[in-house]
Chains A and B, each alone.
Chain A
Amino acid sequence: MNKTVNPNELTSDNDNGPLYVAQKKVYPQSISGTFRRIKWGLMAFCLGVYYFLPFVRWNRGIGAPSQAVLIDLPNSRFYFFFIELWPQEIYYFTGLLIVAAVALFLMNSVGGRIWCGYLCPQTVWTDLFYAVERLVEGDRRERMKKDKSSDPMKLERISEIVLKHSIWLLIAWWTGGAWVLYFNDAPTLVKELVTFQAPMIAYIWIGILTATTYVLAGFMREQVCTYMCPWPRIQAALTDEWALNVTYRYDRGEKRTSVKKAAELRALGQPVGDCVDCYQCVAVCPTGIDIRNGPQLECIQCGLCIDACDNVMTKIGRPKRLIGYDNDINIQRRQEGKPPVYRIVRARTVAYSAIIAAVGGIMIYTLATRSLLEVNVLHDRNPVAVRLSDGSIRNAYTVRLLNKSGYDRVIAIDANGPANLTTHVVGIDSVTPDRPMIVIPRDSTSELRLLVTAPAESNPEKSIPVRFHVTDIGLGEVATATDNFVAP
């Protein structure tokens, strides 16, 4: 077995066996094919979105940020194109996280580690860093030879190494730079950054993310997936026998031998496999494993071994997809001479899809129907009620008004209850004294003290329900809140 480690080869400094294993450097070979093309496409898309999204503009009117996607921490606002979220709407992020998690489950039960192989930032950036390495130092064989060489380094080799790390650092720096742009107006911040006028914290974050990108994509690579990431363990627990995973189809026969020998054995009618033991699948693997050993924790299912094997199978005139997205059930069915069965629609995929649809639907519905004008009312607790000199009764409330829209509002507050209630807002000299009218600036909250009085003759009961109506005078939007009016 290829995976077996000979313990004698491991470093050991005591009798209890090796304390640690050295990282086995992986030299993935370049490859072309369907999955490689998909990966290039997705990489271009993901990185394109990440690097350029902060520069996309969105007009929200004068005085509002014009950045399409912006996390405005000082003002505690989140902007996403036409959506603006306040801190109390953080549950949308909860919903988003639920959808994201279940989408991950769904991907897993349909096609294995699609996330890991194609979309995970660790994979995308590592892939990019490998591409740089290949461009500067050459392909697998050249890199292995250069690393193994014990000759003293020549200027050419040194300049290669310097160039590689410089490009890596440049990419890493750009990655950190793009990150901070999501938290500030991008064009302004870029200007500040290059003139060294940006806040210290921006430079610190760029530094941190430059370091993590450089270290994780340049050095840690597959170690992150194998040892640091919890998802391989979780996905192993989530998978089932119908999930399609990158699989070596061992039903295509044994034994593995050279093309020539295989042809001879085949002519003699003896058992022989399609695999010619060329190790191309191992050579292209970014985690350095042999897919023919079956599903493994280290496998991120990027599909590059499929491309590698397909190229070889085409060359030797055998059917493609000796390695492919498949499962053990189908391998066994084929061995028994039955046609393969693909069951994408099954209880768990339906359940996951239903959860995604339900949570997503609720989010879209609440987002589409949410009110941009809100009112919260808090009754005074000491005193709950005040008797005035003429015998009338007054209750005081703290009213918090939220104007989530992009324009100033003029609103009126009415208190409706069984008694003939009159209202007054402290500090507001309204032109309509019985119906206080208040200006709430755009995108802000206002706290007011509202006094509600019931005349003595109305003689209200101990506690009566009151409904507060806040009406936007211009637009007619209404927000309501209920509380009680209490008699002493």
Chain B
Amino acid sequence: MTDHHSDIDSVTGKSTTGHEWDGIKELNTPLPRWWVISFYLTIVWAIGYWIVYPAWPLIQSNTTGLFGYSSRADVAVELANLEKIRGDKMAVLGAASLADIEKDPALLALARAKGKTVFGDNCAPCHGSGGAGAKGFPNLNDDDWLWGGTLDQIMQTIQFGARSGHAKAHEGQMLAFGKDGVLKGDEIVTVANYVRALSGLSTRKGYDAAKGEKIFAENCVACHGDGGKGNPEMGAPNLTDKIWLYGSDEASLIETISLGRAGVMPAWEGRLDPATIKAMAVYVHSLGGGK
């Protein structure tokens, strides 16, 4: 090793670091003092940081630091603040009437936003994320409502459900005419074709319309009404429109008439607070099918 103090580069007159590669020596260009001091200060700062804030992992937990800081606690505070803000807004929503909410653009936006998240958490498993529904689970975007499509009727259905066991739940079901022996096989086929004809669908060759009408009048009119227009009081669907919850083909209709239908909508009262149910009713109504 050479003595670097006396190892001066002849071209620049600067001292070298003594590092040499293929005859080329690295010039010693020292950092300014303030830079080096700043560097050491950052190290001191880091040590202070370790002491003051949570830093080192231990076997079970970690060092907690002198300030007792925790990002989790910060989140809890922020969430609590958010809940408070939301609480105030939801109180306004809870106090307003359903009709007023829909008329006020700000309240409508709030109800729709709240309704959308709650719908996603609670309703989407059956009705789909946008309320598109599926076989047996009504599409909430259309204008066909088993239990009525006004704001109040929608709210009531959400609150108490249908066949949910709640005292105020919608009751009434499609009877199992075949299974219970009320109608025989050929009668079921005939009335199924009659129902298809009600909404303008094609019928089986040789189907007896008069017989179908007679069977319908004797067995179905009580719930589905004259002409099959349905009855929201009993949850009896309109059989003359284009919307079919369980399918409109002959086989599906035969299955419906033979085995009956009684889908369940749970009651949400008690599981969701009143303001949230209100928001949900407005949201479902605003999907497009509301009356």
Contact = CB atoms under 8 A, between A and B. Distances in A.
Contact of B4 (A17, A390, A427, A446): A17
A18 B128 contact: no
Closest 6 CB pairs of A and B: A382-B130, A383-B132, A389-B241, A7-B15, A4-B13, A386-B141
A390 B142 CA distance: 10
Contact of B30 (A19, A223, A429, A446): A19
A380 B132 CA distance: 10
A89 interface: no
Contacts of B31: 19-21, 227
A17 B143 contact: no
Interface string B1-30: 001110010001111111000000000101
B33 A21 contact: yes
A396 B33 contact: no
Interface string A300-337: 00000000000000000000000000000000000000
Interface stretch (A8-16, A95-103, A404-412): A8-16
A391 interface: yes
Chain B interface main SS type: loop
B237 to A, nearest CB: 10
B287 A389 contact: no
Chain A interface main SS type: loop
A456 B200 CA distance: 14
Interface of A: 1, 4-5, 7-8, 10, 12, 15-23, 220, 223, 226-227, 380-383, 386-391, 394, 396, 426-427, 429, 446-447, 449, 451, 456
Given A4-B14, A380-B130, A386 B33 contact: no
B134 to A, nearest CB: 11
A16 B141 contact: no
B129 interface: yes
B242 A18 contact: no
Nearest to A424: B288
A20 B32 contact: yes
B242 A389 contact: yes
Contacts of A220: 34
A382 B132 contact: yes
A196 B276 CA distance: 42
B32 A396 contact: no
Interface in B82-140: 102-103, 105, 108-109, 112, 128-133, 139
Contact of A8 (B5, B32, B130, B243): B5
Given A17-B5, A23-B34, A456-B242, 18 more contacts: A7-B15, A18-B15, A18-B30, A20-B35, A20-B36, A22-B32, A382-B129, A383-B128, A383-B133, A386-B132, A386-B142, A387-B242, A388-B243, A389-B144, A391-B242, A426-B108, A429-B103, A451-B288
Contacts of B12: 4
B45 to A, nearest CB: 16
